[in-house]
Amino acid sequence: MTRVLLVEDEPAIADALVYALQTDRFVVTHALTGNDALLLLGGQAFDFVILDVGLPDMTGFDVCRKLREFSTMPVLFLTARDGEIDRILGLEIGGDDYVTKPFSPREITARVRAILRRGSTMEMKATAPVAAKSLQPLQHDAVAMRIHCHGICLDLTAHEYKLLLVLLENQGRVFTRDQLLEKAWYDPGAVTDRTVDAHIKTVRAKLRHAAAGAEDLIQTRRGLGYVLVMD
Ligand code: CA
């Protein structure tokens, strides 16, 4: 007996899913809001959560973040937005999979079964889900224009992003401050090379925040500049 919590505020979608899941012999509880879902998750045992991203009181991502504070149960997101950013965000905060609307209810039950079959979700959750797929500590997602450090999306400003990207795309190459200004700033004349140092400092802090020791990926070459080294 697999107990599924379905969190979906659109009645037509919810009804179709409840029916399909029950037909497939799942025991289904239906919640309409994020708050109701969290109350249910805190009080009852479930094996699986199907989570709409667009809920009336909070996003499905918020629900998942809160759920991950106390549970590793599998989460399947339902999203209306077919965006790469959503997908990555969803997996980063601990989702197991996502399905974009419109979908057929059968597709959902098949996906739930596949995730449950995969099992060992809990062990996988212990390590960062995205990092498991990547060997390099830093990963660039060109579509979303984001850089991930050990699977954690770095919250970078535009200049920090460009600066880190220049270093990342030219690993092992030493850049002077002037070269970095030229490559990462739209108007290099308006800033000084101190600006580069200040940004390197904040980028390192964000790397360290993502993973202890990751700040050492950016090395200082005294009297020369900076280089990113990943091995
Ligand atoms: Ca919705």
CATH number at residue 178: 1.10.10.10
Confidence of residue 48 (pLDDT cuts 50, 70, 90): very high
Report CA(8)–ligand 1 centroid distance (Å): 6
pLDDT at 82: 62
φ and ψ of 59, to 5 deg: -85, 160
Higher pLDDT, 33 or 45: 33
The answer to whether the CB of 129 falls within 8 A of the CB of 115 is no
SS3 63: helix
The answer to whether the CB of 201 falls within 8 A of the CB of 163 is no
Report CA(49)–ligand 1 centroid distance (Å): 15
Report CA(9)–ligand 1 centroid distance (Å): 5
* Same-domain status, 111 and 165: no
pLDDT at 134: 38
DSSP code for 136 = S
* Same-domain status, 16 and 39: yes
Lowest mean pLDDT across 92-101, 154-163, 177-186: 92-101
Report CA(79)–ligand 1 centroid distance (Å): 8
* Same-domain status, 180 and 153: yes
Rg (CA), the chain: 22
Report CA(13)–ligand 1 centroid distance (Å): 9
Predicted confidence (pLDDT) at residue 132 exceeds the cutoff of 50: no
Predicted confidence (pLDDT) at residue 84 exceeds the cutoff of 60: no
Report CA(219)–ligand 1 centroid distance (Å): 46
Report CA(53)–ligand 1 centroid distance (Å): 7
| Residue ending a domain, choose from 84, 117, 150 | 117
Pairing of strands 75-79, 97-100: parallel
Report CA(71)–ligand 1 centroid distance (Å): 23
* Same-domain status, 10 and 109: yes
* Same-domain status, 140 and 212: yes
| Residue ending a domain, choose from 48, 83, 117 | 117
| Residue ending a domain, choose from 58, 89, 117 | 117
Indicate the average pLDDT of the chain: 85
**What average pLDDT does the segment 146-165 reach?**
89
Report CA(30)–ligand 1 centroid distance (Å): 13
Confidence of residue 60 (pLDDT cuts 50, 70, 90): very high
Confidence of residue 4 (pLDDT cuts 50, 70, 90): very high
* Same-domain status, 193 and 87: no
Report the domain count for the chain. Answer: 2
* Same-domain status, 147 and 111: no
The answer to whether the CB of 98 falls within 8 A of the CB of 172 is no
* Same-domain status, 165 and 191: yes
Report CA(145)–ligand 1 centroid distance (Å): 27
**What average pLDDT does the segment 105-115 reach?**
91
The CATH number of residue 75's host domain is: 3.40.50.2300
Confidence of residue 44 (pLDDT cuts 50, 70, 90): confident
Report CA(133)–ligand 1 centroid distance (Å): 30
Higher pLDDT, 61 or 191: 61
pLDDT at 122: 44
Tell me which residue range forms the domain holding 201.
Answer: 123-228
CA distance 167 to 217: 10
Identify whether 11 is preceded by a cis peptide bond (ω within 30 of 0).
no
The answer to whether the CB of 147 falls within 8 A of the CB of 156 is yes
pLDDT at 112: 93
Report CA(90)–ligand 1 centroid distance (Å): 16
* Same-domain status, 111 and 191: no
Confidence of residue 127 (pLDDT cuts 50, 70, 90): very low
Report CA(110)–ligand 1 centroid distance (Å): 21
Predicted confidence (pLDDT) at residue 85 exceeds the cutoff of 60: no
Sequence-separated (6 or more) residues with CB below 8 Å from residue 172: 227, 228, 229
Pairing of strands 152-153, 146-149: antiparallel
CA distance 184 to 161: 8
* Same-domain status, 13 and 100: yes
φ and ψ of 145, to 5 deg: 55, 55
**What average pLDDT does the segment 108-129 reach?**
67
CA distance 6 to 21: 10
* Same-domain status, 110 and 148: no
SS3 130: coil
Report CA(78)–ligand 1 centroid distance (Å): 9
Starting at the edge strand found earlier in the chain, the sheet holding 138-141 runs 138-141, 146-149, 152-153
* Same-domain status, 48 and 105: yes
Predicted confidence (pLDDT) at residue 184 exceeds the cutoff of 80: yes
pLDDT at 117: 85
**What average pLDDT does the segment 128-152 reach?**
71
Report CA(54)–ligand 1 centroid distance (Å): 4
